[in-house]
Structure 1
Amino acid sequence: MAITAAQVKELRDTTGAGMMDAKKALTENDGDMEAAVDWLRAKGLAKAAKKSGRTAAEGLVAVAVEGGKGVVVEVNSETDFVARNAEFQEMVAGIAKVALGTSSTEELAAADMGGKTVAETITAKVGTIGENMSLRRMGYVEGKTVAAYVHNAATAGMGQIGVLVAVDGDNEDIARQIAMHVAATSPASLSENDLDPALVEREKQVLTDQAKESGKPDAVIEKMIVGRMRKFYEEVTLLNQKFVMNPDLTVAQAAKEAGVTVTGYARFAVGEGIEKVEEDFAAEVAKTMGG
């Protein structure tokens, strides 16, 4: 299949690979972006298998904690301008408060909020503010102690990244520090036992391909993979990560020293995982003018 310049640019932005390497990777994998990333990593030509950070959605993530429960919600808007609007922020704060009594996005959308459902409240706000909005998702954690942290806060309790951490113990300070750690590192799961099996299998395959490139015997390759998978778990699982407040300890060790055990977390970032639609404004104007 024909590989476009846009595809090559996206792959280069994602991996840091050279232009010709990116083009070859896409050609070898029939334009499959994810497979091309893995191909580059196996050849040692990619910096990391990271998704592009481009997002279409703006809006806010809000957190609320009551007793042993914490909730995090994401409400999207079309522009960052609306996200800074006090009327929009007031609505998002109200939705987060309602979320404390729910356990799913669907339940939250149908929940009562001053005589209207949350979904109806958002629809009405679209009419008054004049911009499309949506309740994208909600999550929650429960535990003996729950702490929340908001990064890049627009106002109290809401901003660009919202994190909840639940611990079995009474130390709220360490729970909040771990929440700040989660905001910075974005772990894939609490521990290796919670990792997506597909993610683990994909990583093993990439590491196997990398090891085979070394030309070493199978017995050596097997040991290399075990060691590299251990390092992978240390990088992507919260309990095994080096604690940002004290890199001499893992998060699990830091929690233990503080007399608690981390039992769960949730991390939302505005618009994560949503591709931004790139528009050619000049071409659109030319088309409108018949050019």
Structure 2
Amino acid sequence: MKISIHKINELRKITGIGVMDCKKALIYSKGNIDDAIRTLRKKGEKIAVTRSSFHMKDGALLSSINSNYSCGTIIGISCETDFLSKSSEFLYFLSILSKHSLLFNNKIDFLHSSYDKYETIQKMIINQMGIVGEKLELKIFEKINAPFVINYTHHTNKIATLVGFSNKINDISVAKNIAMHITAMNPIAINKEKIPRSLINEEIEIFENQIQKKNKSDVIKKRMLQGKIEKFLSENTLLNQKFIKNNEISVQKYLDKYDKNIKINIFKRINI
């Protein structure tokens, strides 16, 4: 099977693995990137667990919250060039849409809503296309509601996060620090119970492949497998991760230091 240079480079960008290993993995997986990553991980290559992300060639994200911290949105607009995605004009347009998006629960209602002189947001986007000379499209619309919601957008506008808490947080910096942690550390779920069983089973299969190559007894291999599973769960669940601003404590302990009664209900982290 012939594998394109573009696909090999794409896999290299994700994994940091050499060209020939990437090519072999893609041939083995018949060109499927996700399967190729699993193949490389089974061989023992150190690659982060793949998470779903939105594939936009160019564009930007922005998260916003309403004035009483009860809801938040993440919206993403695609464009044709990296230059436009970083321009102040494009980001200002995105900020207008982001604030307006807080009034709606889904992408369709938002696009069909009116704004200022425009009959619909969709027509507003079309008008903006004529101004910037590139195709623009609303690719991402995510919303969460909770007793207290905080947001964080990375300065590149390529990652945006929302976090919903069970109670009001008076010290905004505590909530913001957790949102920044999620942005940086990209957890899969809030806790171990929220990780899909199918993903755990997939990781177990990868770990078993790695351990089979070791010249160890079955008892030691079983112990190694359990250790790898526990490490995977602790490193990929938000509450068990080491807090980014203090590696001596977990995110759970950081939150408990502020208020043991506050829980994290939900989070959304989008990257492009």
Settle same-fold status: TM greater than 0.5: yes
Question: Aligned residues: percent identity?
Answer: 27
SS at match of 1:152: coil
Q: How much has 1:55 moved relative to structure 2?
A: 5.5
Which residue is equivalent to 2:124?
A: 121
Is 1:165–1:265's contact at 8 Å kept on the other side of the alignment?
yes
Q: How does 1:64-75 map to 2 (within 5 A)?
A: 64-67=65-68, 68-75=70-77
Q: Distance in 1 between matches of 2:178 and 2:41?
A: 31
Question: Could you give the per-residue CA deviations for residues 15-62 of structure 1, whole angstroms, max 9, x where no partner exists?
Answer: 3334443343334333433323222222224544558x9961223424
- The residue type equivalent to 1:132 in the other structure is K
SS in structure 2 of the partner of residue 66 of structure 1? coil
Query: What CA deviation, in whole Å up to 9, does each residue of 1:161-181 have, x standing for no partner?
Result: 322222233232210111111
Looking at structure 2, the residues matched to 184 and 48 of structure 1 have their Cα atoms a distance apart, in angstroms, of: 13
Amino acid at match of 2:72: G
* Structure 2 equivalent of residue 214 of structure 1: 214
Paired AA for residue 66 in structure 2: V
Structure 1 residue corresponding to 2:108, chosen from 106, 109, 115: 106
CA deviations on 1:207-263 (whole Å, 9 max, x unpaired) are 111122224444443332222112112222211111011111111111111113222
Is residue 133 from structure 1 mapped to residue 136 from structure 2 by the alignment?
yes
Q: Please give the alpha-carbon distance, in whole angstroms, between the structure 1 residues aligned to 2:194 and 2:140.
A: 21
Runs of at least 5 residues in structure 2 that lack an aligned partner in the other structure: none
1:99-123 per-position Cα deviation (integer Å, ceiling 9, x unaligned): 2122222222222222422212111
Shift in alpha-carbon separation, 1:111–1:194, aligned structure 2, 3 A: farther
* Residue in 1 that maps onto 2:248: 248
What is the TM-score of this pair, normalised by structure 2?
0.84
Matched, 1:168 2:166: yes
Q: 1:111 to 1:55 in 2, by over 3 A?
A: closer
For the Cα contact (< 8 Å) 2:29–2:35, is it kept in 1? yes
Q: CA RMSD in A?
A: 2.7
Q: Give the TM-score of the pair, scaled to structure 1.
A: 0.79
Structure 2 Cα separation of the partners of residues 69 and 5 of structure 1: 44
Q: Select between 172-181 and 76-85 the one with higher mean Cα deviation.
A: 76-85
How many angstroms apart in 2 are the aligned matches of 1:81 and 1:36? 32
- Aligned residue pairs total 265
Letter in 2 for 1:188: I
Uncovered stretches (5+) of structure 1, i.e. residues with no partner: 154-158, 273-291
Pair 1:21–1:87, CA change in 2 (3 A): closer
Distance in 1 (alpha carbons) for counterparts of 2:61 and 2:20: 39
User: Does the 8 A contact of 1:76 with 1:134 survive in 2?
Assistant: yes
Alpha-carbon contact 2:164-2:267 (below 8 Å) kept: yes
- The equivalent of 1:237 in structure 2 is 237
Aligned to 2:25: 25
